[in-house]
Structure 1
Amino acid sequence: MDMAPSSMPMSNSSPSDYHGMNTKIIMRMSFYWGKDAIILISGWPELRLGMYVLALFLVFLLALTVQVLSVSPDVKIGMNPIVGGVTQASVYGLKMALAYMVMLSVMSFNVGVFFAAVIGHAFGFFLVKSRALAIANKTAAASSSAASVAAKV
């Protein structure tokens, strides 16, 4: 069954229509600069600089949140195993969903989005590790002061 392309039904709108304008949406396969990216949602950030900056900020926050969620919640002794497991699985599921959203954003091949994601991951890593270091230092200081008090007694 050989059908000629002209015999196929055509509609008045095409996927390349952008809010009534006859523009083509270009999906790039190499890195590029510019605000004409499509990030996660078709037609967004709408070729406007303000929306592009908002998109970069949201990608930054998504990447930062992925790193913050990488520290799994503590399971307390005596906690119901089902509740602990559901809590950890929920946090993990949220972390993975956000990580995939960051990955899909970076797949727009926009250099600004790439930098926003990398800087967001780095800043989130810094926040998590500096907090862990502060807690470790506080614990070490408390244990060394307790040991010095015990040695004096």
Structure 2
Amino acid sequence: MMHMTFYWGKSVTVLFDQWAVKTWQGYILTLIVLFVFSVVHEWLAVQRSLFLTTSSAGKTSAVPSAAVSDDTPEAPLLGGVVVQGSRIGINKSLESLLFGIKVGLGYLLMLAVMSYNGGVFLSIVAGLAVGYFFFRSGSAAPSFHDPCCSS
């Protein structure tokens, strides 16, 4: 039966029945793997932000929709902004891939925390904190301008 409260111990099943650990060596290895996955999760967040800032330059041009010919693709929800070239498709695909990997990894980490093992919880939180420290805090953080929240 699955635990529904936090517990401490080396016996834990993480995510899959095949990832059932009963020894101290396996438990420590599991905590290290989850710690690394957590750091990678924060690194992916930074990589996506960097990709967004580098790919946003020259991404679209603000051409009024009246000046658009019939064969030019148009983004109607963006108020007549015209999409230039097929590179936008590649950038959007890569951005979506990074987002999907980051979100998928985040959900897997959340499900691992739901094993309710105290060591697993602390390992994931520590990995996220270390990843944040190295990749997102202070001067290491990329300067990402969000046009929705500009003041």
Q: TM-score, normalised by structure 1?
A: 0.66
Change (3 A) 1:51 1:103: same
Q: What is the Cα-based RMSD across aligned positions, in Å? A: 1.9
Change (3 A) 1:86 1:32: same
Give the counterpart of 1:75 among 55, 75, 94.
Answer: 55
Give the counterpart of 1:54 among 23, 29, 37.
Answer: 29
The one-letter code sitting in structure 1 at the alignment partner of 2:15 is: L
Q: What is the CA–CA distance in structure 1 between the aligned matches of 2:18 and 2:135, rounded to whole Å?
A: 34
Q: What is the CA–CA distance in structure 2 between the aligned matches of 1:134 and 1:101, rounded to whole Å?
A: 26
Following superposition, the deviation at residue 109 of structure 1 comes to: 0.1
The one-letter code sitting in structure 1 at the alignment partner of 2:96 is: A
More strand by share: 2
Identity %: 33
Give the counterpart of 1:104 among 104, 107, 111.
Answer: 111
Q: TM-score, normalised by structure 2?
A: 0.66
| Matched residue count | 110
Q: Please, which runs of 5 or more residues in structure 1 have no aligned partner? A: 1-25, 137-153
Write the deviation string for residues 41-88 of structure 1: whole angstroms up to 9, x where unpaired.
214243011111111111111111111111212316346111111111
Q: Is the 8 A contact 2:113 2:121 kept in 1?
A: yes
Q: Please, which runs of 5 or more residues in structure 2 have no aligned partner? A: 60-86, 143-151
Which is greater in Rg? Answer: 1
